[in-house]
Amino acid sequence: MSNLKQEILKLLKSDQFISGQEMADRLDVSRTAIWKNINALKTEGYSIESVTRKGYHLREHPRYISPTALEVLVQDSALFSHMEYFETTESTQIEAFQKLESRDGAYIVVALEQTKGRGRFNREWFSPKNRGLYLSIVLRPNIPITEIIRFNLFISLALSKTLDQAFGVKSGIKWPNDIYISNRKVSGFLTEVVSESNVINAIICGIGINIFKDEGVSALGTATDIESEMEPGRKVDLDDFMKKLIHNMEVYYDRFINEPFSSIRDEWKSRAIVFNKDLRITETGESYMAKALDIDSDGFLEVLDETGEIRRVVSADIEL
């Protein structure tokens, strides 16, 4: 991928007109090279205005994740060392797993479309092209496998905060790893691990977000999308979203490694949508109604079932 194209994109994001000659001087290349890379960015979906005697100006971002912008973000990241980008794939989780042995460190896999996207309990995640954000992040924490529930809570907080910051929405968390807006699901993530002797060698976390309106998503009834929930007239900027997401992932992953759940418990509870509601909880072999009372210091849900018994929910499917 052209490093020059990445540098030109950085200059264009200054929100100022900048001439082709100034870019050429600053990057020590010819104006022809600038022109060619400007056109390449246009083919990626960037709307770039050209005005005589003023220069170039970035008007709009693509309605999908730009590989050039993502490469810039990964290069600047303190956590992620590289990324993989696909127009179409069966599943970013599959791609991420396949690259575990050939790639070191933490990395990101992004696709514009998944043909076999899946969520928890092997449920299908509807992933139409250029309508959502589909990615998997790979992390290598070297921690006990019992810590995975805590990981989910830190990451759910990072994801919920990012959606609010980038799109001006008000999202909530359904324990342990679904994000809702207006009582409908907008995002979820699937956490899988590679472990040995009860120690996690790698976490592969697949994230799906419904971004733009889509008839297939709307038909589900229980789902929504970011575009429908944003204030009228506000534009979706996925480059900005990814910048905020990577930053928040870095912050909350570092906190996960170094801090107990109690350090974010109050913040997590302030975003939780499971309290004071009747819940249907399905665990291995049984399903029952209950009310969520609290979340304990380990991140497990404490609920009161129909018989008056207080239960500690470790892993379950929860319906609101």
Q: Are residues 53 and 89 in the same domain?
A: no
280 in a labelled binding site: no
Q: Are residues 106 and 10 in the same domain?
A: no
- 319: enclosing H helix or E strand: strand 317-319
118 in a labelled binding site: yes
Q: Are residues 86 and 184 in the same domain?
A: yes
Q: Are residues 182 and 47 in the same domain?
A: no
Check which CATH number belongs to the domain holding 285 and give it: 2.30.30.100
pLDDT at site 1: 42
120 in a labelled binding site: yes
pLDDT at site 60: 87
63 in a labelled binding site: no
Structure tokens at 233: 């007239």
Q: Are residues 308 and 253 in the same domain?
A: no
> In the chain, how many domains are there?
3
pTM of the model: 0.87
d(CA 316, CA 175): 9
16 in a labelled binding site: no
Q: Are residues 182 and 220 in the same domain?
A: yes
Q: Are residues 123 and 263 in the same domain?
A: yes
| Residue 28 three-state SS | coil
Q: Are residues 135 and 220 in the same domain?
A: yes
DSSP character for 295? Answer: E
Check which CATH number belongs to the domain holding 30 and give it: 1.10.10.10
pLDDT at site 254: 97
Domain boundary among the residues 22, 44, 60 is at: 60
Q: Are residues 264 and 291 in the same domain?
A: no
Q: Are residues 13 and 137 in the same domain?
A: no
Structure tokens at 42: 């246009």
Concatenate the DSSP letters of all residues of 119-178 into one string: -GGG-B----TTTEEEEEEEE---EEGGGHHHHHHHHHHHHHHHHHHHH----EEETTTE
Q: Are residues 265 and 279 in the same domain?
A: no
pLDDT tens string, the chain, 320 residues long: the values are 458 988 998 899 877 899 999 999 999 999 999 999 999 999 988 999 999 989 999 988 888 888 999 999 999 999 999 999 999 999 999 999 999 999 999 999 999 999 987 776 667 777 778 889 999 999 999 999 999 999 999 999 999 999 999 999 999 999 989 999 999 999 999 999 999 999 999 999 999 999 998 887 777 778 999 999 999 989 899 999 999 999 999 999 999 999 999 999 999 999 999 998 999 999 888 999 999 999 999 999 999 999 999 999 988 889 98
Structural domain for 38, as ranges:
3-60
Q: Are residues 296 and 148 in the same domain?
A: no
